Amino acid sequence: MYHVYKYAVLFAASIVLGFAFNMFLLPHEVLSGGVTGLAMIFGLLSPINSGIWLVILNIPVFIIGLMRLGRGFIWNSVLSVFITSVSMQYIPVLKITDDALLSAVFGGIITGIAIGFIVRFNGSTGGADIIGLVVTQKQDIPLGILIFSINSIVVFISGFVFSWNLAILTMASIYITGVVIDRVHTRHIKLSLMVVTTKGEELKNELIGNLIRGITVMNGYGAYTNNENKVLYTVITRYELALVKSLIKNVDPKAFVSISETSEVLGNFRKS
């Protein structure tokens, strides 16, 4: 059931991404970033549709992703890029509004939401997304900020190819997209999790079986009841929180759970 839900989200988000490109960004020559932005530039300067360029330019990036991020991720990414490319063939390039600034803002918001959900469900739109995800495996940097930094090069290219006014709009759109991605894709936010439960061994095994996380188990007892408990402590990402809460509820609905945001984690912590 989860896989059906995942692919449904990837499918819908990829179509929304194509809609944002063709209805908000491309009509005003406001570009997205990275490989997608380069595909837009080539599409505007050549008779070949931007969606075709999107596939061609992503091939070498997908090869890098395959080596570092795994086959499942690449399959989801190829599916997303393919759906986005096809949707851009059939969604007409029309101006929703004549105001280029409004198009840049709303295009950036919609693009950020779509990319955020695609990345959240273990996919990408290729290009800077894959490069950013590879880097975040080693460096604890918010994905949206990293993508914005990588994509800034498109701003300078668009400034020389088109105009600097459009380059500024592109920068605004890319920045908004990066901010929205970090609101949707929250893997970089760390949470400290403490669980007090009478089913310590069962819950420990369930968490270890579903998460790639170390867990510290301590003995405890209730000050009022004097009943023995197990205290489980670990650090997770906000991205994993929904799964963890579901696992705890299934094993011990009466468990006491404390969750707090952690500003920094040092030592052996897997970032992805």
User: Both 78 and 143 in a single domain?
Assistant: yes
- The pLDDT > 90 percentage for the chain reads 10
Identify whether the C-beta of residue 158 lies closer than 8 Å to the C-beta of residue 167. Answer: yes
Shared domain check, 207 and 174: no
pLDDT digits (tens, 9 = 90+) for 119-176: 777 777 766 667 766 676 666 666 666 666 767 776 777 677 667 777 788 788 878 8
Q: For the chain, what is the domain count?
A: 2
| Among candidate residues 168, 184, 200, the one where a domain is terminated | 184
Check residue 12 and give its pLDDT.
94
User: Within this chain, do residues 129 and 256 fall inside the same structural domain, yes or no?
Assistant: no
For residue 105, count other CB atoms closer than 10 A to its CB: 17
pLDDT at 38: 76
Residue 270 lies in a domain: no
Number of H helices, E strands in the chain: 10, 4
Task: Tell me: do 153 and 219 sit in the same domain.
Answer: no
Domain end marker among 119, 152, 184:
184
- % residues pLDDT > 70 (the chain): 79
Is 90 exceeded by the pLDDT of residue 11? yes
Residue 269 lies in a domain: no
pLDDT per residue over 59-94, tens digit each?
Answer: 877 777 777 666 777 788 888 888 988 898 889 888
**Domain match, 47 and 168 both:** yes
Question: What is the domain extent for residue 202?
Answer: 190-262
pLDDT digits (tens, 9 = 90+) for 252-267: 998 999 988 776 666 6
Does 246 share its domain with 116? no
Q: Mean of the pLDDT values across residues 22-31?
A: 80
CATH of the domain at 236: 3.30.70.120
Tell me the longest C-alpha to C-alpha distance in the chain: 77
Local confidence band at 109 (pLDDT 50, 70, 90 cut-offs): very high
